[in-house]
Amino acid sequence: MKRTLPILNRVVVKIGSSSLCGSDHKIQAEQIHELTSQVAALTKQNIEVVLVTSGAIAAGIGYLKENNASLENHQAAAAIGQPILMRYFQEHFQTYGHHTAQLLLTHDDFQARRRYLSARNTINYLLSNQIIPIINENDSVSTEEIRFSDNDYLGALCTNLVSADLFIILSNIDGIADKNPLEYPDARIFNQLTLPELERLKDQFSNTEVNGMGRGGITTKLEAPFMAARYGIPSIIANSRMENILPRLIGGEILGTYVEPEPSQLNSWKAYIAHALRPKAVITIDAGAANALKQNKASLLASGIISIEGNFSRGDGVRCCLSDGTEVLRGIVEYNREEISKIAGLRSDEIENILGYRHRRGVIHRENMVIV
């Protein structure tokens, strides 16, 4: 019996630190060689591959006098490790006749629409020239405010960025299980999950669980495919150490956990708002406005706003919540903080008298929001 996959023209493969490093947390050249040979096998099937990889910090940490968890230490280790990691990939891919290119991204690159589109255009151009893009977080400059929680999250964002047909997460676990398989040998691996099933599992795991070398662990193994599923892109979470894992997955062999995509997926712009745009503030809205937004696909009007918290400008992302803190939507505002503080609770025909003007698209237009 084979797993049914969509027609695959482009695949994002995320390779975790545990897939590249040994028990001593040092890069294993033989493991990189094995994975590059498998990627090369996929390209022979005319499948474009975008790699999202961890491992820079692991490659560089041994060159520093101290090995601690400080941000500065990780930034320095990443600066040392990035060229080492890329040298490994470049050398091994060249044995199969492939060239590689490196893209280092931060969350800001996904938040700034112009940079987001620039990154997408660069990747598309590289692929059109048969160059394999290798994407990593720019850890040497990332701060706590702009860094990704884990490269699984970065990989999920990249599936939408490059319009992938499949997202593969290679790690040190055999798939998503009913409990942490690294701690419980009797954990049951799921062959397939729907989005509601995955959401229920997300609630069972705490954010404090980690898998040893990555920043995210079990939690991001659930969040990343959840994001991809909302983009309409299926995911497979599998063990990188399994023999010839990538060609076997592409061939439809039932390995790891397959996460079904959502039929009514978000389009590229809505996906950007939902996951790439980082909210800068919170707008509290009343229950009537929340119901209208959910049921009628309406825009958010000033009359439904109770209060605001945080500073923002026109064009920034915000979260809209009920008074009890329940998030209703994320969207891009048409007014800045000062303007909204003056017009909150007012009818649309009253706004011009207060501000001297009004935007006819409301406070957040329905095209620029995503219901949570």
pLDDT tens, residue by residue, 156-212:
999 989 999 999 999 888 999 887 777 788 888 999 999 889 888 877 775 444 443
> What's the number of CA atoms in the CB half-sphere (13 Å) around residue 66?
9
Write out pLDDT tens, residues 252-271: 999 999 999 987 667 878 88
The confidence band for 145, taking pLDDT boundaries of 50, 70 and 90, is very low
pLDDT score recorded for residue 17: 85
Q: What is the mean pLDDT of residues 273-294?
A: 90
Least confident of 73-82, 109-118, 201-210, 322-331: 201-210
> What's the number of CA atoms in the CB half-sphere (13 Å) around residue 159?
33
pLDDT score recorded for residue 219: 63
pLDDT at 221 over 50: yes
pLDDT score recorded for residue 143: 57
Neighbours of 254 (CB within 10 A): 13
The confidence band for 116, taking pLDDT boundaries of 50, 70 and 90, is confident
Give the mean pLDDT of the chain: 87
pLDDT score recorded for residue 107: 78
Cα distance between residue 166 and residue 144, in whole Å: 29
Instruction: Say whether domain 10-270 belongs to CATH 3.40.1160.10.
Output: yes
- One CATH from 2.30.130.10, 3.30.70.270, 2.30.30.110, 3.40.640.10 for 279-371: 2.30.130.10
Cα four-point dihedral sign 119, 123, 128, 129: positive
pLDDT score recorded for residue 172: 86
Least confident of 54-58, 171-175, 320-324: 54-58
Cα distance between residue 272 and residue 332, in whole Å: 11
The confidence band for 117, taking pLDDT boundaries of 50, 70 and 90, is confident
pTM: 0.81
Least confident of 35-44, 94-103, 197-206: 197-206
CB 226 within 8 Å of CB 198 = yes
- In 53-86, which positions are buried (b, 16+ CB within 10 angstroms) versus exposed (e)? bbbbbbbbbeeeeeeeeeeebbbbbbbbbbebbb
- Element at 262 (helix H, strand E): none
Q: Where are the domains of the chain?
A: 10-270, 279-371
pLDDT score recorded for residue 216: 44
Write out pLDDT tens, residues 2-18: 999 999 999 999 998 88
